[in-house]
A and B are shown apart, each in its own frame.
Chain A
Amino acid sequence: MSEGHSTYSPKTGLGRWFDARMPLPRLVYDSFVAYPVPRNLNYMWTFGGILSIMLVSQIITGIVLAMHYVSDTSLAFGSVEKIMRDVNSGWLLRYMHSNGASFFFIAVYLHIFRGLYYGSYKAPRELLWVLGCIIYLLMMATGFMGYVLPWGQMSFWGATVITGFFTAIPLVGDWIQQLLLGGFAVDNPTLNRFFALHYLLPFMIAGVVVLHVWALHVTGQNNPTGIEVKSKTDTVAFTPYATIKDAFAMVVFLLVFAYFIFYMPNYLGHPDNYTVADPLKTPAHIVPEWYFLPFYAILRAVTFNIGPIDSKLGGVLAMFGAIAMLFILPWLDTSKVRSAVYRPWYKLFFWLFAANAIFLGWLGSKPAEGWYIPAMQISTLFYFAFFLVVLPVLGLIETPRRLPNSITEAVLEKNKAGSGHPAGAAAAPETKG
């Protein structure tokens, strides 16, 4: 939260010299040292930092991989195998990059669900939320194009199906698809342009992250109570409190990440992608990467025509619509209370929504046959109903629980209700004062 004035005072001559010419150290100090954060932030608030290091990790491992990778359909698959077998430590860098993409998405999903639960998208943080949604969209594009690069069977057929979405657009659809592919089917021009864009997009993500953090530092962080910061006692300094908590969470996250890299590096991938792409043979069962599965289920749920919209366009619209819901979410929720902690009905629906999202993901990995199809349809219906019916209506009919007057009051109340032994103050600094 911007306090309006800066408390930075450079102590050395060099510091003062810099400060008078380009106050970058002041910006860093004000943003990451003195910056006040709500004292009650829990571990769900550590994923922003985790996401930042995952982005850096993807960029560094990616640039190194690009030094050995060749984006030509006759060489791409072989060059990735070469990275795995011949390039020194190549296997490690590639596993860091491919698992890194998955862990990036794990972090972003937890980050998004945190926002949903605590109402972080509500005024005045709408723009912050929308910028986050843009990052998520760019991540999906980057992940999709990266997955095409190793030129395995899933790369090829994933690219075929996803670019096929555009043929659903009336009149200009085929033209757009050919523009994306540079041909009539996924081929060398496609691979080349996807590589160029896969290299570019992460840097665009980094740019939007800057805007996201900027917006965050204007409105300040939300917190588990959803109540705005009202006085100085509601906050603690970013350093050391948030810094150390973020760092600890990063270490734990990276330990799990390392476990995957070293002990189950292909668990999140698909074995078919170790078969070179064959344009004349579709694998028996194609699935996208796990992080796209819920949307893939929504795409396939529409098996019927809706008036003038045929099933194909309908599926594509439903899928993009599912993502669009996130963008307009701030204007769908009519409740003034942010945090689910004080909204008993919202809390129930939130968990139903989360369970439904996971169920959709599971369905996305199943073939489109038998009872899976009606299950996909019901789940898709609930997905949209959550945004378009539950959120607007709940805000009007739900009676929220009594809100504490301030963050400090909430923290002290919780402390009293707990054990209340004085030693707790030292162990839990957020309850101090």
Chain B
Amino acid sequence: MSASDETHDPNRRDFLYIATGMAGVVGAASVAWPFIDQMRPDASTLALASVEVDVSSLTPGMSLTVKWRGKPVFIRNRTPEEVKAAQDVKLEDLKDPLARNANLGSDATAADIDRSAGKGKENWLVMIGVCTHLGCIPLGQQGEYGGWFCPCHGSVYDTAGRIRQGPAPENMAVPVFSFISDTKIRVG
């Protein structure tokens, strides 16, 4: 190769060089993708199940936990005192002012009514029982606010499952759910 080769018009070797390079890059990327893609949740995991729960036996002050998509869902029939305590909290005092309720718009505020099952069903609280910090399951009716306390890193939730203290950033999530009769809830 003489120095003057470099100033030549693109020749056959340049073309092969660029074409091979391009094929290599595209090839490497398309081979890499399935190796990453296989890591994602598979079809059986994604198959969206919904669960129906009979809540007729829950008197005020009782809760139950059901497993939905591998995660626990807390269903609690709150006592009037708990509802009152949650309603009395001012929005400004909340660390996370949003409802995080999948049944409402994403801008709904964390007022107690929008955390609960809604008008007439304010006593019902249905939420995914997973701490929004790093995923532990909080313990019920514990902590300073009589709501939930996460033993892992000390997040404290109130009786509406709203984060009040500790490292967790968000209120516990309310999943899609509905009352299919007065005593039956469908989650999902």
Query: Which residues of A line the B interface, CB within 8 A?
Result: 157, 160-165, 167, 178-185, 187, 189, 193, 279-286, 299-300, 302-303, 310-313, 315, 367-369, 373
**A299, closest chain B residue (CB):** B153
Assuming the contacts A184-B69, A279-B70, asked whether A310 and B134 have C-beta atoms less than 8 A apart, the reply is: no
**B165, closest chain A residue (CB):** A303
Residue contact B134 to A165, C-beta cutoff 8 Å:
yes
Q: How far is the CA of A292 from the CA of B30 in the complex (A)?
A: 37
Is B39 in contact with chain A by the CB < 8 A criterion?
yes
Stretch from B40-48, B77-85, B100-108, B176-184 contacting the other chain: B40-48
For B166, the chain A residues whose CB sits under 8 A away are 303, 311, 368
Residue contact B67 to A286, C-beta cutoff 8 Å:
no
Residue contact B40 to A284, C-beta cutoff 8 Å:
no
Query: Which residues of B line the A interface, CB within 8 A?
Result: 36, 39-42, 45, 65, 67, 69-72, 132-139, 150-154, 166-169
Q: Which listed residue, A179, A187, A315, A368, touches B39 by the CB 8 Å rule?
A: A179
Residue contact B133 to A312, C-beta cutoff 8 Å:
yes
Residue contact B134 to A182, C-beta cutoff 8 Å:
no
Residue contact A178 to B169, C-beta cutoff 8 Å:
no
For A279, the chain B residues whose CB sits under 8 A away are 67, 70-72
Q: How far is the CA of A185 from the CA of B150 in the complex (A)?
A: 17
Residue contact A286 to B152, C-beta cutoff 8 Å:
yes
What number of A-B contacts does a CB cutoff of 8 Å give? 99
Q: How far is the CA of A388 from the CA of B97 in the complex (A)?
A: 36
Q: How far is the CA of A160 from the CA of B71 in the complex (A)?
A: 12
Residue contact B137 to A184, C-beta cutoff 8 Å:
no
20 more A-B residue pairs beyond the given contacts A160-B134, A283-B151, with a C-beta to C-beta distance below 8 A: A157-B136, A160-B136, A161-B135, A178-B41, A179-B40, A181-B41, A182-B41, A183-B41, A184-B41, A184-B69, A185-B69, A279-B70, A286-B136, A300-B154, A300-B167, A303-B166, A303-B167, A311-B166, A367-B154, A369-B154
Minimum CB–CB distance from B113 to chain A (whole Å) comes to 26
For B134, the chain A residues whose CB sits under 8 A away are 160-162, 164-165, 167, 312
Q: How far is the CA of A311 from the CA of B163 in the complex (A)?
A: 12
Q: Which listed residue, A161, A165, A182, touches B40 by the CB 8 Å rule?
A: A182
Minimum CB–CB distance from B40 to chain A (whole Å) comes to 6
For B152, the chain A residues whose CB sits under 8 A away are 157, 161, 282, 286
Residue among B154, B166, B167 with most chain A CB within 10 A? B167
Chain B interface secondary structure, helix, strand, loop or mixed? Answer: loop
For A182, the chain B residues whose CB sits under 8 A away are 39-42, 45
Minimum CB–CB distance from A3 to chain B (whole Å) comes to 39
Residue among B40, B136, B138, B152 with most chain A CB within 10 A? B152
Minimum CB–CB distance from B172 to chain A (whole Å) comes to 14
Minimum CB–CB distance from A339 to chain B (whole Å) comes to 40
For A184, the chain B residues whose CB sits under 8 A away are 41, 45, 69-71
For B65, the chain A residues whose CB sits under 8 A away are 280
28 CB-based A-B contacts, threshold 8 Å: A161-B136, A162-B134, A164-B134, A178-B40, A178-B41, A179-B36, A179-B39, A180-B39, A181-B41, A182-B39, A182-B42, A183-B45, A183-B70, A185-B69, A189-B42, A279-B70, A279-B72, A280-B65, A280-B137, A282-B150, A284-B151, A286-B152, A302-B167, A303-B154, A303-B167, A311-B166, A311-B168, A312-B134
Residue contact A187 to B135, C-beta cutoff 8 Å:
no
For A303, the chain B residues whose CB sits under 8 A away are 154, 166-167
Residue contact A185 to B71, C-beta cutoff 8 Å:
yes
**B133, closest chain A residue (CB):** A312
Residue contact A185 to B136, C-beta cutoff 8 Å:
no
Residue contact B151 to A311, C-beta cutoff 8 Å:
no
Q: How far is the CA of A290 from the CA of B141 in the complex (A)?
A: 31
Residue contact B168 to A312, C-beta cutoff 8 Å:
yes
For B151, the chain A residues whose CB sits under 8 A away are 282-286, 367
For B42, the chain A residues whose CB sits under 8 A away are 182, 189
